Chain A
């Protein structure tokens, strides 16, 4: 007997159940198809403007820095300003995502913009989030041909653009959106929920930022 059959057989024996029992199968099918929502905190259930305020406040509480921009065209200048303020070279790496590619980068003549995955030599990465979650100040990033996951982890500084209209109150709203875009039960290879910069408290429980991932997380909320 294969290990698979042995394990499933033992589980069924312990439960006193069968793998072809109709009510059990129906219960599982129902839950997987209907994906019922459990308890959702009231905290994020707010009108748009307040929800975005909560997102900004929560992201700040976990040591992300947040800047709000009036429009998408302000992004290149905001990126250049971030690099200047921290005495960083005017260079970033980003994916080919249209939401980032179509910006007026030419306005920042000093800024070198390279595209594609990071090999670890980039100081600053720029990504576009698919959503924000107000409940905890979390940004949601999905992988794809134009969105390398390495940019989210290897650079010392991670700048993330979030469209204000995509800031949800809770994770459940994000799941519903993922199902709409990718299909029920289908996920991109990697979905990263990122809440603040990398940290560790493994030495004497002292909280330190910048363990293995980015030392700083800078969020640009657009609109």
Chain B
């Protein structure tokens, strides 16, 4: 996926999304499902705000001692009979995983849902090397059939409607009765369950991500609703976990605290259906479970975020709350961002991981309204970090010329209060005259981007500063 980054085309992508009614209809559900679900779940738990503080503190403590907790985690995995591999970047991670698969003689590979494998582009890499991994999360399976990328980190197929899923299933599941009824989500789910069951049972290697790595016990933890992540790891002979370094937490108590925030923030559930702790391979006498257990720890730019103004982003637990509450995401969906991670968290993270040159527009895909920060379970100051990226964009001369000129002109005026006062008074007067009696402008020079979609209300009185001065005197 890293090759397919189109974040620089965000404005174009966004316009295309706005002209796509089925997409807009699909993402419209987010309000009544995920947003109201989160609100209800948070209101039903009096300790929710205190848990957010505790969650933030756990992650802050862990990040300050990240090297030591990673070493502790590694020791415990090895003690339990597992292997730990360190991957500096995406290429490292892909190579390590391919190597494990090849040594295991893997022909069939199943995957649990994992954003980190999207980040490194694992599927494409394995495919290019003769191994075709099968996504088993229903949403991931659907988009894999469609040759698409996830448009949401927890609801990857949120942009697809059931008619499209039915068409994809008919196209791919050609051994099934072509006259079968696929009108309802229930029949689609039943068909996917049947098809994927075969894949689970015949897989040689299962790959999952991790929501947590527990330093105390060497456990990797996945949180899912479908149970596909569990079937992915208990049936094949080899279980590979790919996780980024900031997923480590110290203890089981710390997992419990963040667990209480994760599902509530993500879907409004108090707890996801399956929270599974995996520690090493199967033990002596165990009748099932994988015979080999590998954890691949991925850095891919994160160690450089520590100690920088973007360190707080490493607290992110990938719940998707900021995405669900973002007015920009809710207007254009996830693909418009052209990045693996969409929405506010993606707009902060992507430039860190991929470089600002490839993603400079993302920091502007925000109104800075602050809803993301107000719902973030880890209290990540997302708007502040988006502003940091805007500043860097300007400093590095990545801002488009017109915008730079506008900002320079504004700066010139703002630094000269008298001139500023004169210019704004003149502007207000001029606009009011131009608007005439209807009090609205249909066209304004230099503001075509605004007036193309709506009228500009003309100023009715003086400027803010003259009004302020008048009221201050009273």
- B271 to A136, Cβ gap below 8 A? yes
Q: CB-CB < 8 A to A197: which residues of B? A: 273
The answer to whether B205 has its CB under 8 Å from any CB of chain A is no
- B58 to A38, Cβ gap below 8 A? yes
The answer to whether B331 has its CB under 8 Å from any CB of chain A is no
The answer to whether B7 has its CB under 8 Å from any CB of chain A is no
Residue of A nearest to B88 (CB): A3
Q: CB-CB < 8 A to A28: which residues of B? A: 65, 68-69, 72, 215, 250
| Option from A42, A135, A192, A210 in Cβ contact (under 8 Å) with B276 | A192
Instruction: Take A27-B65, A150-B288 as given contacts and tell me if A6 and B88 are in contact as well, using a CB distance cutoff of 8 Å.
Output: yes
Number of interface residues of B (CB under 8 A): 104
Q: What mask results when residues 8 to 21 of chain A are scored 1 for a CB within 8 Å of chain B, else 0?
A: 10111011110100
- A213 to B227, Cβ gap below 8 A? yes
The answer to whether A72 has its CB under 8 Å from any CB of chain B is no
- A190 to B273, Cβ gap below 8 A? no
- B45 to A204, Cβ gap below 8 A? no
The answer to whether B254 has its CB under 8 Å from any CB of chain A is yes
- B225 to A35, Cβ gap below 8 A? no
The answer to whether B372 has its CB under 8 Å from any CB of chain A is no
A120 to B53, CA, bound (A): 44
A160 to B138, CA, bound (A): 26
Q: CB-CB < 8 A to B61: which residues of A? A: 27, 31
Number of interface residues of A (CB under 8 A): 81
Nearest CB on A from B308, distance (A): 7
Residue of B nearest to A63 (CB): B273
Residue of A nearest to B137 (CB): A202
Instruction: Take A188-B279, A189-B282, A189-B289 as given contacts and tell me if A153 and B227 are in contact as well, using a CB distance cutoff of 8 Å.
Output: yes
Residue of A nearest to B142 (CB): A202
The answer to whether B243 has its CB under 8 Å from any CB of chain A is no
Nearest CB on A from B266, distance (A): 11
Nearest CB on A from B233, distance (A): 8
- B253 to A3, Cβ gap below 8 A? no
Q: CB-CB < 8 A to A210: which residues of B? A: 189, 193
The answer to whether B26 has its CB under 8 Å from any CB of chain A is yes
The answer to whether B410 has its CB under 8 Å from any CB of chain A is no
The answer to whether A43 has its CB under 8 Å from any CB of chain B is yes
Q: How many inter-chain contacts with C-beta < 8 Å in the A-B complex?
A: 275
A8 to B66, CA, bound (A): 9
Q: CB-CB < 8 A to B218: which residues of A? A: 187
Q: CB-CB < 8 A to A127: which residues of B? A: none
- B273 to A11, Cβ gap below 8 A? no
- B156 to A202, Cβ gap below 8 A? yes
Of B122-130, B299-307, B386-394, B430-438, the stretch lying at the interface with chain A is B299-307
Q: What mask results when residues 124 to 167 of chain A are scored 1 for a CB within 8 Å of chain B, else 0?
A: 00000000000110100001110011101110000000000000
Q: What mask results when residues 260 to 302 of chain B are scored 1 for a CB within 8 Å of chain A, else 0?
A: 1000000101111111111111111111110000000101000
The answer to whether A60 has its CB under 8 Å from any CB of chain B is no
| Option from B72, B259, B286 in Cβ contact (under 8 Å) with A171 | B259
- B286 to A145, Cβ gap below 8 A? yes
| Option from B47, B252, B297 in Cβ contact (under 8 Å) with A35 | B252
Residue of A nearest to B285 (CB): A145
Q: What mask results when residues 205 to 216 of chain A are scored 1 for a CB within 8 Å of chain B, else 0?
A: 110101111100
- A193 to B274, Cβ gap below 8 A? yes
Chain A 161-209 interface residues, beta-carbon cutoff 8 Å to B: 170-172, 175, 178, 185-206, 208
Residues in chain B within 8 A of chain A (CB atoms): 26, 29-30, 33-34, 45-47, 50-51, 53-54, 58, 61, 64-72, 76, 80, 86-88, 92, 136-139, 142, 155-158, 160-162, 165, 185-186, 188-189, 193, 196-197, 200-201, 215-219, 225-228, 230-231, 234-235, 245, 250-254, 256-257, 259-260, 267, 269-289, 297, 299, 303-308
Task: Report the 4 A-B pairs with minimum CB-CB distance, sorted nearest first.
Answer: A213-B227, A145-B285, A211-B226, A202-B139
Cβ contacts A to B, 27 pairs, < 8 Å = A6-B88, A11-B70, A12-B67, A14-B308, A15-B64, A16-B307, A24-B68, A28-B65, A41-B47, A145-B285, A149-B230, A152-B230, A190-B234, A191-B279, A194-B274, A195-B272, A195-B273, A202-B156, A204-B26, A204-B29, A208-B186, A208-B189, A210-B189, A211-B228, A212-B136, A213-B273, A214-B227
